[in-house]
């Protein structure tokens, strides 16, 4: 069976004279958590922005389920099932959880030409998603402003699921979280993959990555320098790949 959801081939991104990404070949698979690692400025966020329609690539191709796509906007990528959760979560503090999950896509009925919100249905749908994610939030009507950082991540994940996302990309989801909350969010990440979603996790935290990722890809100076299955590598090797101390990276950088 082929679980390839998204395949990047030779993806390159230039900003004027600066090459932020150079010939990236990468496959993102359904049911798998893929960690994207690399030092500051390695190109992780730029790659994510290309995949999520925020930047057009300068060169290269993106295939979704085997079909070439060209996204002109984040909406194009969202319509293709790609949801990106950025660190600044873009939730509305004053609105409830269920209002946030349905923001911009509210369910309505029209009676005599007047639209009505189907509040109960939305509430139930969100309660179901929270329950399925085992998110530890009992009241979908609570305002997001009253939630912790980890609970907010859960709301953002619900929002992605409610949009039927098939690929959920999370850029540093645990950077601002305390230990228990981090555990919770990492658990959510796993459950997304178990539901059949493809998940990309960007993180600087090696132990988080080893806890949830099935596969790891290391970027360095805009290039992909390594790809490893979790079972075939160690945190020490990954750190050496990130910093460039690893012999594979030295050889690669000497050759170019
Ligand atoms: N809009 C832009 N215009 C010009 N240069 C940019 C732009 N966005 C990113 N860059 C450059 O591209 C390179 C890669 O940046 P990117 O943000 O992708 O790194 P990153 O791996 O996400 O780093 P970090 O871990 O710090 O978030 C950097 O040199 C950055 O300065
Ligand atoms: Mg970044």
Q: Which residues pair with 200 in a beta bridge?
A: 34, 169
| Mean per-residue pLDDT, 231-251 | 95
Asked whether residue 135 is domain-assigned, the answer is no
Task: Write out the residue range of the structural domain in which residue 186 sits.
Answer: 4-89+165-255
Query: Is residue 186 included in any domain, yes or no?
Result: yes
Residue 238 lies in a domain: yes
Structural domains of the chain, count: 1
- Asked whether residue 222 is assigned to any structural domain, the reply reads yes
Residue 22 lies in a domain: yes
**Does 122 fall in a domain?**
no
Among 20-34, 71-85, 170-184, which is the least confidently predicted range?
A: 170-184
Q: How confident is the model at residue 1 (pLDDT cuts 50, 70, 90)?
A: low
Quote the pLDDT of residue 88. Answer: 63
**What CATH code is carried by the domain that includes residue 171?**
3.40.50.300
In sequence order, what DSSP letters do the residues of 5-48 get, joined into one string?
EEEEEEEEEEETTEEEEEEEEEEEETT-EEEEE--TTSSHHHHH
Output the residue whose Cα is nearest ligand 1's atom 1. Answer: 15
Q: Is the CB of 21 under 6 A from ligand 1?
A: no
Ligand 1 atom closest to Cα of residue 222? 14
Q: What is this structure's pTM?
A: 0.87
| Residues whose Cβ atom is located within 5 A of ion ligand 2 | 45
In a domain, 111, yes or no: no
- Give residue 142's pLDDT band: very low, low, confident or very high (50, 70, 90): confident
Residue 124 is assigned to a structural domain of this protein: no
Contact indicator for 239, 206 with CB cutoff of 8 Å: yes
Number of the ligand closest to the Cα of 219: 1
**pLDDT value of position 115:** 77
- For residue 66, pLDDT over 90 is answered with yes
């Amino acid at each position: 069976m082929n679980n390839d959801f998204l395949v990047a081939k030779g993806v390159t991104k230039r900003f004027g004279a600066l090459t932020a990404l150079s010939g990236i070949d990468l496959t993102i698979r359904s049911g798998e958590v893929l960690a994207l690692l690399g030092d500051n400025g390695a190109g992780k966020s730029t790659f994510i922005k290309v995949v999520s329609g925020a930047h057009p690539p300068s060169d290269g191709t993106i295939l979704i389920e085997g079909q070439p796509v060209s996204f002109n906007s984040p909406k194009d990528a969202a319509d293709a099932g790609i949801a990106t959760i950025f660190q600044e979560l873009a939730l509305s503090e004053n609105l409830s959880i269920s209002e946030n999950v349905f923001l911009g896509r509210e369910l309505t009925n029209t009676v005599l030409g007047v639209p009505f919100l189907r509040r109960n249905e939305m509430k139930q749908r969100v309660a179901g998603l929270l329950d399925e994610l085992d998110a530890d939030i009992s009241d979908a009507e609570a305002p997001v402003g009253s939630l912790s950082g980890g609970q907010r991540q859960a709301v953002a994940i619900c929002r992605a699921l409610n949009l039927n996302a098939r690929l959920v990309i999370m850029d540093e989801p645990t950077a601002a979280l305390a230990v228990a909350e981090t555990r919770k969010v990492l658990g959510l990440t796993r459950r997304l993959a178990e539901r059949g979603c493809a998940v990309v996790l960007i993180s600087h935290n090696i132990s988080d990555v080893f806890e949830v990722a099935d596969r790891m890809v290391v970027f360095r100076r805009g290039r992909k320098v390594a790809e490893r299955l979790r079972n075939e590598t160690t945190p020490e090797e990954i750190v050496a790949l990130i910093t460039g101390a690893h012999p594979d990276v030295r050889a690669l950088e000497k050759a170019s």
